[in-house]
Amino acid sequence: MRTPIIAGNWKLHMNPEQTAEFVKAVKGKLPDPSKVESVIAAPAVDLYVLAENAKGTNLHTGAENAYFEVEGAFTGETSPKVLNEMGIDYCIIGHSERRGYFHETDEDINKKAKALFANGVTPIICCGESLETREANKQEEWVVGQIKAALDGLTAEQVSKVVIAYEPIWAIGTGKTASADQAEEMCKTIRETVKDLYNEETAENVRIQYGGSVKPANIKELMAKPDIDGGLVGGASLDPESYLALVNYQD
Ligand code: 13P
């Protein structure tokens, strides 16, 4: 069955020195990766230090974004190929902050997913509706549309490996978590969408995270839901103790 995956998304926090200290603080205390996969996604400037310090530990590493080209005249961008060379395992794409502040489109996100797979980095693809969309009761069609666009042209084998993060925008950094039932409902819809697009086996393999004010206090309830396979955690992943409480939620 699916291995749970808890990923911290540090956003624009932490420097290389703090990154090295964080890994030192958590490394002997992480769960066995066959039980729970622990991931930290860090800013690009911290990734080299993150990858070097995570070597030989149970910590998996992630970037928060990458470009869909591997090299060229693209000032300021991050190459998926270099992420792979550095030993980075995952890359978050399509976070609502990137879609909102940096105008990333569904098409960009689809190109990034393909480029990451082509370069041996597993994408964590984010989706999620705004408060306005939820109040209009259009959240399902919105999220299904985002998923269809993001996965377009990917093979069943690739989609089996992908991680999808459902993050309702109204629950991010607001302290307002979607209820475990609301989160489960959408994660189930996403799995059904994968089944419609591919097949049952692919849908059973794809891991789906919930994100939005996940904390040590609510992780157990969320993880108890059948279609929630993990969490994508912002604020509560910055402190080693809080991060350890999240990844060790089974204890
Ligand atoms: P918070 O956990 O701080 O609400 O952030 C969620 C998020 O956006 C993770 O990607």
Q: Is 211 in the pocket of ligand 1 (CB under 6 A)?
A: yes
Per-residue model confidence (pLDDT) at position 167: 97
The finding on whether 84 has its CB within 6 A of some atom of ligand 1 is no
Instruction: Give yes or no for residue 125 CB within 6 A of ligand 1.
Output: no
pLDDT at 174: 85
Please choose from 5, 6, 11, 14 the residue to mutate so as to test ligand 1's pocket, defined by most ligand atoms within 8 A of CB: 11
The SS3 of residue 242 is helix
pLDDT score, position 108: 98
Distance in angstroms (rounded) separating the CA atoms of residues 47 and 78? 11
165 Cα nearest atom in ligand 1: 10
> pLDDT truncated to tens, each residue of the chain (251 aa)?
899 999 999 999 999 999 999 999 999 999 999 999 999 999 999 999 999 999 999 999 999 999 999 999 999 999 999 999 999 999 999 999 999 999 999 999 999 999 999 999 999 999 999 999 999 999 999 999 999 999 999 999 999 999 999 999 999 888 877 899 999 999 999 999 999 999 999 999 999 999 999 999 999 999 999 999 999 999 999 999 999 999 999 99
Q: How far is the CA of 200 from the centre of ligand 1 (A)?
A: 30
Question: In this predicted structure, what is the pLDDT of residue 47?
Answer: 98
pLDDT score recorded for residue 48: 98
Residue 223 corresponds to which amino acid? M
CA of 28 to the centre of ligand 1 (A): 25
Task: Quote the pLDDT of residue 176.
Answer: 79
Residue of the nearest CA to atom 1 in ligand 1? 234
CA 215, CA 34: separation in Å to the nearest integer?
Answer: 22
pLDDT tens per residue, range 223-246: 999 999 999 999 999 999 999 999
Tell me the domains of the chain and their CATH numbers. 5-247 (3.20.20.70)
Ligand 1 neighbourhood includes 89 CB (under 6 angstroms): no
Q: Is 168's C-beta closer than 6 angstroms to any atom of ligand 1?
A: no
Is the Cα torsion angle 49, 247, 215, 182 positive or negative in sign? positive
- Look at the block and give the residue holding tokens 């190109």: 111
Nearest-atom index, ligand 1, CA of 174: 4
Closest CA relative to residue 227, chosen from 198, 241, 207: 207
What mean pLDDT value characterizes the chain?
97
Query: Cα(237)–Cα(41) distance, rounded to whole angstroms?
Result: 10
As a whole number of angstroms, the distance between CA 235 and CA 175 comes to: 10
Tell me the C-alpha distance between 142 and 164, whole Å.
15
Give the pLDDT score at 178.
87
Q: Let me know: does 6 contact 230? Beta carbons within 8 Å.
A: yes
Binding residue ranges for substrate: 9-11, 173, 213, 234-235
Each residue of 51-76: pLDDT tens digit?
999 999 999 999 999 999 999 999 99
- Collapse the DSSP code of 39 into the 3-class scheme (helix H, G, I; strand E, B; otherwise coil) and give the result: strand
User: Which positions are annotated as active-site residues?
Assistant: 95, 167
